[in-house]
Every structure is written in structure tokens, then in C-alpha cells.
């Protein structure tokens, strides 16, 4: 009964770039390091989206724009207020519809 549990630290940001052991060691008392270059890249991608012509287009076009800037699909989905799985289905479904419509035209 006299033993105290170690404090648990939970971070609210990505752990990309850290190894698997560090990622799930929530009882660690060492401070987490933030990859500020990734944060800056996401901010710049968001600003580029807001100041482009793609801003007024659909989810497919905006997601493609962000991924062409170098963002992973999961980060593009988060910026667009969607989920990674939803965006995966949306991006996969668009070219298939074009291919079917081209076959129907012939």
C-alpha cells in the first residue's frame, strides 16, 4: 500500500520519428521532443490550401492538393476535417468512376 504509482504523461501530438519503444512508454518521466519541422510543414500546407483556388473545390481536389505538397493522407484528412479511412475510400473511388464513364461513352 505504501508504493506510489509513477505519474503518467500523455502527449497530444504525433510521435513520428521516435522508435516504437518510446512511443508507448507513457510512464516515462523524460520530456517528449516535438518535431517542429513537421508542425511547420502542416501549417504551411494549410495556409497554401487557404490561399489557393482549390479551397472552393471538393474533398477529392483539396486532398490531392495537400498530398501533392507532401503531406501524408492521414494529415491531409485531419486538415480537411475527415478521417484517413474516409479519405482513402474517396481517393480510391474517383478514378474508378471516370474509367467506368469512359467505357460507357464508347
What pLDDT is attached to residue 83? Answer: 92
* Cα–Cα distance measured from residue 32 to residue 89, given in angstroms and rounded to the nearest whole number: 34
Q: What Rg do the C-alpha atoms of the chain give, in angstroms?
A: 20
Residue 49 CB partners (closer than 8 Å, separation 6+): 55, 62, 65, 66, 79
Question: For residue 47, how many other CB atoms are within 10 A of its CB?
Answer: 10
Flag whether pLDDT at 96 surpasses 80.
no
Interval 33-87: pLDDT, tens: 788 888 898 899 999 999 999 989 999 999 999 999 999 999 999 999 999 999 9
pTM for this entry: 0.57
What pLDDT is attached to residue 18? Answer: 52
Amino acid at each position: 500500500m505504501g508504493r506510489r504509482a509513477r505519474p503518467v504523461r500523455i502527449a497530444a501530438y504525433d510521435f513520428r520519428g521516435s522508435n516504437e519503444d518510446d512511443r508507448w512508454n507513457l510512464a516515462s518521466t523524460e520530456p517528449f521532443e516535438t518535431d517542429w519541422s513537421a508542425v511547420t510543414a502542416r501549417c504551411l500546407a494549410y495556409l497554401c490550401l487557404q490561399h489557393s483556388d482549390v479551397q472552393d473545390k471538393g474533398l477529392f481536389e483539396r486532398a490531392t492538393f495537400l498530398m501533392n505538397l507532401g503531406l501524408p493522407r492521414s494529415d491531409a484528412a485531419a486538415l480537411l476535417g475527415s478521417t484517413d479511412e474516409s479519405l482513402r475510400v474517396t481517393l480510391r473511388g474517383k478514378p474508378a468512376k471516370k474509367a467506368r464513364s469512359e467505357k460507357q461513352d464508347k
